[in-house]
Each structure stands twice: as structure tokens, then as C-alpha cells.
Amino acid sequence: MPSTYTLISSNVLSTTAASVTFSAIPSTYTDLVVRWSARSDTTNNLMKISFNSDSATNYSDVMLLVFSGSPTSALNSSGTYLTGASGMDTTAETASTFSSTELYIPSYTASQNKPMSYTTAREDNSSTVYLRAHAHLWRNTAAITSIALTPNTGNLVSGSSFYLYGIKNS
């Protein structure tokens, strides 16, 4: 079944920003994809993701991280946001390097909990490259109408780019 990606909204930062929010997301698509290339102005940063301004403990996350050949995993079953832990290049990494991430949200308007997948890649000043894969769950049956992306600390730097796509299956 062919799919059509349609750009709903984009935001390329020309200055630092505390967060990026996609709001008033239309309900006319089957799935959503959020892609970003981001960098933070602080070290050891992660991206927090929330939906519809929900800050209750409705978020679950299973993560697999591979770096320098050493895999690790973690589970969070009652978070107040989804996390992309260590999923963002920071001031400690090579200058002008941005991590790349994709968040895939199927059936975002369905009256059911929302499972989704998240992958990110980043590097640091050494030979270490990070690959992170998450299985996320937002335990809420409301349609997703807004998505907020916020660094755990500090700000997103100029040049960070964010894109929201709608997918229609035909």
C-alpha cells in the first residue's frame, strides 16, 4: 500500500529556543512523522517529548542504546514525558554537529493508547557514535493535536531543524 508524506509544518531555528511545539495538528492523516536535526547549548542533554500538554505519568519507554560496541537498555513505565536520553549533540561534541532523530507515530487519531518508535544517531568528539532506538507508549486515547520538543536543560541552538509530516495511506 503506497504512502504519501506531506509536510505539515517546519521550524529551522535562527536563534536559540527553549523548545519547539507543533500545534493544531490536523486529523486528516493516518500517521505522523517528526524528524529533527538538533543541537543543545549544554552538555549531557536529552530531548523531552510530550503530547497535548500532558504532564501526567502517562508515558512509557523501552530503550536500546549502542555506543562503542557496548549495548545497554532501560525501561521507564511511568514518565511525565517521553525521552530521547543522550539523544542530542551538545556543546561537548564536535562543533556544528547535529544529531538526527525520527519519531514515527501510527494511528495518532485513534481512540486507543499511542505506540510509537524513535531512533536517533549522534557522535561525540572521539570515535564514539551513538545509536538509540526506543519503543514508546503514550497511555492516552485522545487524538494527538500538539507535540512539544524540549531539551532537558539549556536551549536548542540556531540551525536546529524540525519537520512534522502527515502520512496518508492510499
Name the band, by pLDDT with cuts 50, 70 and 90, for residue 75: confident
Q: How would DSSP label each residue in 99-149?
A: EEEEEEEETTTSSS-EEEEEEEEEE-SSS-EEEEEEEEEE---SPP--EEE
pLDDT at 126 over 80: no
Residue 85's domain is classified under what CATH number?
Answer: 2.60.120
In terms of residue numbers, what domain contains 30?
3-169
User: How many residues in total does the chain contain?
Assistant: 170
30 alpha-carbon distance from chain centroid: 19
Compute the distance between CA of residue 64 and CA of residue 3 in angstroms, rounded to an integer.
28
119 alpha-carbon distance from chain centroid: 8
Q: Which residue has the higher pLDDT, 118 or 93?
A: 118
Task: Tell whether pTM > 0.75.
Answer: yes
**Looking at the 3D structure of the chain, how many domains does it have?**
1
pLDDT at 130 over 80: no
| DSSP label at residue 25 | -
pLDDT in tens, 9-58: 999 999 999 999 999 999 999 999 999 999 999 887 888 999 999 999 99
Compute the distance between CA of residue 61 and CA of residue 87 in angstroms, rounded to an integer.
14
Compute the distance between CA of residue 67 and CA of residue 20 in angstroms, rounded to an integer.
28
pLDDT at 63 over 60: yes
- Work out the mean pLDDT of the chain and round it to a whole number: 89
- Name the residue type at position 37: S
Compute the distance between CA of residue 112 and CA of residue 55 in angstroms, rounded to an integer.
18
